[in-house]
Structure 1
Amino acid sequence: MRFHEKDPGGLQRISRAIKEQAVRLGFVACGITPVRLLEEDAAFMKHWLAEGRHGSMSYLERYAEERENPGLLLENARSIIVVLFPYQGNRKQPLGAPKIAKYAYGSDYHYVIKQKLQQLLEFIHHEITPVNGRAFCDTAPVFERRWAQQAGLGWIGTNKCLIHPEFGSFAMIGGLISDLEVAYDQPMEGGCGNCGLCVAKCPTHALSIPGRFDATQCISYLTIESKEEIPEVWKGKLQGYVAGCDICQDVCPWNHKKLISQSSIDAEQDVLWQMTREEWRLMNGSWYKRMVRKSALNRIPYKKMRQNLLAIDPLFFGEHPEEE
């Protein structure tokens, strides 16, 4: 049954239908916000980049106008449909294994979430009203956390993660920029107060109050984004992580409220998160490339991963760390 925008309450019914379908597709939350300029966020990022806090992530210096104005990414853009997709589940790596961030358990979230967003777009187009849209999930120059906050899905915490009051921060953000006009949600107000646990527990002091974040000191940056070997000053502070980091989320009280059930991202590929320390030690280049081909870890070249493993333990591969 198709909807008509001229019906009394039609815009509200369209929004409700979109959100209900989003939940059926596996998203735990969905909100909708109008497209507008994000001048304050753009100014903050310009200053942050000028200070060099982004390190070697030069791609952040591009598409500044599109980040400020997502309307440049789609003709006649009117709304942004924002969704949250859980990734934590209840899984834990084997004791003593090199640690990978929870979002990297299973299949590459970029593809999983964008596929579901495409299904949501098709539902809107065929079941509600013709629509043009562009999906994103870490794949477009968009202030994702800010748009999620504007769509009423949480607030941006001291640890720079989006925090949903029910589901915490263990959820990926995705969205659709569309030319559809609907009933919109109100931005969510909230904050972390005087908690500061994420700041106190960050081993590399990448976080500070109020709101400072230096990516060049973040374990996720050091193990993934940086193409260089991890500097000696940080090698003793990695807490066993070789791909990303969850420390600032693990200590967050908002993540202790409810354990999100296992997501389809976890279920699609089970190998990496189950690997023991010995299995990591015995891996070679061809094996590694095959295992990460459909994983979010495919952004980490084999050489970089070996360097990360040696950073947490210089004798990880024995007394002869060079690959044969």
Structure 2
Amino acid sequence: MPNSPPDLQDLPELARAIKTWGAELGFADVRIADVDLAHAEAGLQAWLDAGCHGEMDYMASHGMKRARPAELVPGTVRAIVARMDYLPSGRDGDWRATEVARQHDPQAAVVSVYARGRDYHKVLRNRLQQLAEKLKDAVGPYGYRVFTDSAPVMELPLAEKAGLGWRGKHTLLLSRAAGSTFFIGEILVDLALPVDPPTGAHCGQCQACIDVCPTQAILGPGRLDARRCISYLTIELKGSIPEELRPLVGNRIYGCDDCQLACPWNKFAQRARLPDFDERNGLGEAGMIALFAWEEEEFNRRMEGSPIRRIGHERWLRNLAVGLGNAAAQRKGDAAIVAALRARAGHPSELVREHVAWALARHLA
């Protein structure tokens, strides 16, 4: 990596400027950490050895490089870590109560709040790149790499080390100022900027997130078995959702926010500063029957620029079939649900047909 850092005496001022530029670009908080993550290696290895990553082979494919940013980008000595809030604007009242109410409406299609707007990868990467270029304008050429959930780096330990928050018992990052409804992104740099101190943990004896998890995927404080997590099942899993878990998925068709909805710290959740995360396609109010009727062309068109598009139409229908099957079990004899499912019973995809057949059987049971 090329390295032309300013004089060391300028670095504290440079760090303050980075934080100011970050705020101007829409980040809610920007902090700086060193990149020594040796403390996280044992936990990562144990999690992988237990198979808790499921089909997410990318979690294991780089070995311990994930905990060694300087091996990923030689010359790296610091990480600039930024937080961007995503709670959509335009809705008044208690957002958590609204989301819980939708979970109890059998026909509502529940999409994780973070996924209702524009793909966060694109938004954060663009803003981080602008921040990196502002830094370049100030100091001249330097070595850096921008990423958000897109490189083999343990982002949450970096964010925790930088003082953006602490790891909650559900393993998500928590901030006293903003709960957990935010994205994080990083810039690895070869500038020896002053680092920020970490915060302490503030969960205390609370284990609301553990108790509320529909599939009991949170095995204990800080221990998540992704194979049982609804977000994994509806997003990462490529094949059939295990039958014993399908009834527990309820009407969650993309992701799951239950642990966040139960967390007391999310009473401090902040609305997004950028319009990119405003809801699109009515995903905060949509019904499953309407979404299940989308053909592939409509799905691709409507989900253009959305994180949802990456699962593809087939898995979209798989997820909705499970949700409709659970709705059918609650609303015996609902002709609209049965008709929607029967319309997909002969779908070309074996995966879709399997889940539709299961859903129809729920109606008859």
Instruction: Give me the TM-score of the superposition, normalised by structure 2.
Output: 0.82
CA distance in 2, matches of 1:74, 1:7: 22
Structure number, greater radius of gyration:
2
Q: How does 1:45-194 map to 2 (within 5 A)?
A: 45-90=44-89, 91=91, 96-194=107-205
Partner of 2:20: 20
Matched-pair contact (CA < 8 Å) for 1:229–1:304: no
CA distance in 1, matches of 2:273, 2:248: 30
Count of aligned residue pairs for this structure pair = 318
The structure 2 residue matched to 1:233, chosen from 244, 256, 269, is 244
Higher mean displacement: 20-29 or 231-240: 231-240
How big is the shift at 1:313?
1.6
CA distance in 2, matches of 1:304, 1:178: 38
* Structure-2 change in CA distance of 1:239 and 1:154 (3 Å): same
Instruction: Give me the TM-score of the superposition, normalised by structure 1.
Output: 0.92
CA distance in 1, matches of 2:201, 2:286: 40
Question: Which of the two has greater helix per residue?
Answer: 2
Partner of 1:293: 304
CA distance in 1, matches of 2:149, 2:45: 19
Higher mean displacement: 10-19 or 298-307: 298-307
How big is the shift at 1:158?
0.3
The structure 2 residue matched to 1:321, chosen from 304, 319, 344, is 344
Matched-pair contact (CA < 8 Å) for 2:210–2:259: yes
CA distance in 1, matches of 2:342, 2:71: 54
Q: Letter of the 2:153 partner, please give it.
A: V
Cα deviation, 1:159-201, whole Å, max 9, x if unaligned, reads 1100011011100010000111211111222131110000110
CA distance in 1, matches of 2:130, 2:312: 32
Q: Letter of the 1:271 partner, please give it.
A: N
Q: Letter of the 1:20 partner, please give it.
A: T
CA distance in 2, matches of 1:194, 1:208: 16
How big is the shift at 1:230?
1.3
* Structure-2 change in CA distance of 1:166 and 1:98 (3 Å): same
**What's the Cα RMSD here?**
2.0
Q: Letter of the 1:319 partner, please give it.
A: R
CA distance in 1, matches of 2:292, 2:7: 63
Higher mean displacement: 280-289 or 165-174: 280-289
The structure 1 residue matched to 2:233, chosen from 199, 210, 222, is 222
Partner of 1:31: 31
Q: Letter of the 1:321 partner, please give it.
A: R
Q: Letter of the 2:113 partner, please give it.
A: K
Structure 2 unaligned blocks of 5 or more: 92-97, 329-336, 349-365
Structure 1 unaligned blocks of 5 or more: none
The structure 2 residue matched to 1:243, chosen from 245, 249, 254, is 254
Q: Letter of the 2:57 partner, please give it.
A: S
Partner of 1:254: 265
Q: Letter of the 2:313 partner, please give it.
A: Y
Q: Letter of the 1:143 partner, please give it.
A: M
How big is the shift at 1:5?
3.7
How big is the shift at 1:120?
0.3
* Structure-2 change in CA distance of 1:168 and 1:275 (3 Å): closer
Percent identity, please.
32
How big is the shift at 1:275?
5.8
Partner of 2:281: 271
Cα deviation, 1:78-122, whole Å, max 9, x if unaligned, reads 110000011112457887431111111111110110000000000
Higher mean displacement: 243-252 or 121-130: 121-130
